[in-house]
Structure 1
Amino acid sequence: MEQEYTDMQVTAWGGMQEMKRIIDKTGINKKLQSLGLPEGKSNNKISASDTIESFWVSIWIGCFRFSHTAVVRLDEVLRQIFGWERVPSATTYGRFFKKFTPSMNHDIFIELYSWFFEQLQFDNYTLDVDSSVITRHGEQEGAKKGYNPTKRGRNSHHPLFAFVNDIKMVANCWNRSGNTNSSNNCIHFLEETFSILKNKKIGLFRADSGFCSESILKFIEDKTTAYVMSCKLYANLQSTIYGITNWQPIGMGIWITEITFKQGGWSKARRIIVIKQLEEVRHKTTGKKLTSLFKQADLDKEKVYKTRYHAFVTNQTLPAIEIWEQYKRRGDAENRIKELKEDFGVQGFCMDSFCATETAMRFVMIAYNLMSLFRLLTLQKQPSPTLATLRFNCFAVGSWIENKVLKMSVPLKRRQ
């Protein structure tokens, strides 16, 4: 087949018109303009709000690096859909994010996130806190050797996330050096997150064992917020669990019980729910074995070698099995992190400056929330697809503009 070239302005992303409508309906562009974002001084400058908006569009259509954003810059139809005068280059994005300072980030993002959640009528949130590891291939600021399960010994960042589970959105995000542990600086992070959601009720707080410290427990208890957190199975708790005899069966090869226990470093005893599962029956079970007791000669070998345990601390009075069901739903936070990495390029927009990298990361979170809002409004009770699915089923539409009308090449069967 022969081929020809044309100067006709065509885009592969006509479906982005829907995201333009979301941006207009939320009024987030006007909010960005009111935040005092750093603006360039050149007569040929691109406004801060247009820079951020085009950055979001780049993420939505699949750009994982600043160099990929050239796809948007060369797309004249996308520029007209969103009404930008010009689209930034990869280096322009880098210069823009490097203008932000830590104090500016603190003020701007608290106000922006707070404003965003104020617009949502939904209340009584379940707040999940989790951390992740992002491997870095270079000597970027803050990239240090620390816990890295996939790339051992490699430099990394260790960001901290707060998710609103009910609506699948990000309430807050901080970047951190790779050599920090899960709970490092978590109190300040929680203080900022609670100030963001200051006019919303946080009905339940959940976190894994990396956050189960006295300082965090006391912070949440002082807020009179219900919580459930996974406990670290230190030797003294393992010994207590080993001696438990009153287990209640709740399924094949699984039992539950509860105790009141004071973990080392805690100021008081707290209610702990314990789950026991037999490996022989539940082959895919996770949890911890009572490894600290291995050296004792009189141990029940089945209790130690063939059984795995989970322990959860809570301040609620609900039945033990309800507490366990609550905690199991926390696993959705892992899905959010996976989607941020695989679909939203949270690993890719990295610069030499730590603060600039964090700024880009936090704007990625806003892009994620806007996409979550799109899913809530359009799909409602239907299963929520990933951005990759939406990208090819909804946004990838060959289009052109004719007499100020966006012409979208969509077969009749696909239009709905």
Structure 2
Amino acid sequence: MLGCCPSVIIVARKTPRLLEELEKAHWRPSPKTDADEQCEFQYQPEGWGKAYRFIALRYLKKDETPKPQYQLFDTPKYIYRVFVTNMKGPIDLLVWVYNQRAGAENLIKEANNDAGLAAHPSEQWAANCVHFQLAMLAYNLNCWLLLFNREEKVQANDLKHTTLVTARLRFLFVAAKIWRHAGRVGISYSDQYPERGLFQRLMDRLRNIASSQGKFQPVLASALRL
């Protein structure tokens, strides 16, 4: 089933036979994931032509604190995450790859729903291609805009995703008045606008973007580190 795919990792479906394999497996500590233990084994599901590599994480049921909404197997003592893959590599790396893909799916959903990516305004392929590129440009510009508004010392792992809907409410759909006086043009914001300080900081950073020797100069003192 996975033989025709160059590299794939998918969530395994819960079955009684698979639970038996999980109980028999050799488990060891999992210091590089959020799980308590990890294991791997070769297993051939019913109807599959051959056995494949299964990797699993398990969590002790210590309390009722909600965990992230992964696809989980729940048993009286443990909670399991199980994957089947044809990829090589350590378990923690493969789980990270899957988590990144799951995060990408959420971003794609956001682009479809909030950036208009799923709309097809024309019956002509070329026109739809242009619409797609413009939608992606708008989405990416919004992402860059939010990066410009990050706190000075925050690092990549600490960044929290801000949705398009939230960004629009905070920085785009803003009640303001454009005024002209004595040859000057300005903008006055409502006294009720709670993000005035953040918005002004963002605008100041954008105004400070400048190129020198063919490169853009940084507008924040500390670079964003991965």
TM-score (norm. length: structure 1) = 0.33
1:234 corresponds to which of 6, 15, 20 = 15
Spell out, residue by residue over 1:159-194, the C-alpha distance to the aligned partner (whole angstroms, 9 max, x if none).
Answer: xxxxxxxxxxxxxxxxxxxxxxxxxxxxxxxxxxxx
For 1:327 and 1:369, how far apart are their aligned partners in 2? 23
- Contact 1:253–1:282 under 8 Å retained in 2: no
For 2:77 and 2:139, how far apart are their aligned partners in 1? 42
For 1:254 and 1:282, how far apart are their aligned partners in 2? 16
Task: Give the superposition deviation at 1:312.
Answer: 0.9
Partner of 2:80: 309
SS at match of 2:73: coil
Task: Give the superposition deviation at 1:305.
Answer: 1.9
| Number of equivalenced pairs | 168
Using the TM superposition, name which of 364-373 and 227-236 deviates more: 364-373
- Contact 1:344–1:364 under 8 Å retained in 2: no
Partner of 1:35: none
Task: Give the superposition deviation at 1:319.
Answer: 0.9
Partner of 1:328: 99
Task: Give the superposition deviation at 1:229.
Answer: 1.3
Spell out, residue by residue over 1:45-75, the C-alpha distance to the aligned partner (whole angstroms, 9 max, x if none).
Answer: xxxxxxxxxxxxxxxxxxxxxxxxxxxxxxx
SS at match of 2:141: helix
Partner of 1:385: 162
2:137 corresponds to which of 367, 370, 375 = 370
1:409 corresponds to which of 182, 187, 202 = 187
Pairwise CA RMSD of aligned residues? 4.0
1:394 corresponds to which of 171, 175, 178 = 171
For 2:129 and 2:18, how far apart are their aligned partners in 1? 38
Partner of 2:27: 247
- Contact 1:255–1:275 under 8 Å retained in 2: yes
For 2:12 and 2:131, how far apart are their aligned partners in 1? 31
Task: Give the superposition deviation at 1:258.
Answer: 0.4
SS at match of 2:30: strand
Spell out, residue by residue over 1:11-70, the C-alpha distance to the aligned partner (whole angstroms, 9 max, x if none).
Answer: xxxxxxxxxxxxxxxxxxxxxxxxxxxxxxxxxxxxxxxxxxxxxxxxxxxxxxxxxxxx
Spell out, residue by residue over 1:83-135, the C-alpha distance to the aligned partner (whole angstroms, 9 max, x if none).
Answer: xxxxxxxxxxxxxxxxxxxxxxxxxxxxxxxxxxxxxxxxxxxxxxxxxxxxx
SS at match of 2:168: helix
Partner of 1:30: none
Question: As a proportion of its length, which structure holds more helix?
Answer: 1
For 2:51 and 2:162, how far apart are their aligned partners in 1? 43
Task: Give the superposition deviation at 1:255.
Answer: 0.9
Partner of 1:260: 42
2:59 corresponds to which of 236, 261, 277 = 277
Task: Give the superposition deviation at 1:218.
Answer: 4.0
1:288 corresponds to which of 59, 73, 82 = 73
SS at match of 2:49: coil
Instruction: Specify which structure has the bigger relative contact order, considering alpha-carbon pairs within 8 angstroms and separated by 6 or more residues.
Output: 1
Structure 2, gaps ≥5 residues long: 151-158, 190-195, 205-226
Structure 1 residues 229 and 241, CA, compared in 2 at 3 Å: closer, same or farther? same
Structure 1 residues 332 and 275, CA, compared in 2 at 3 Å: closer, same or farther? same
- Match of 2:49, as an amino acid? S
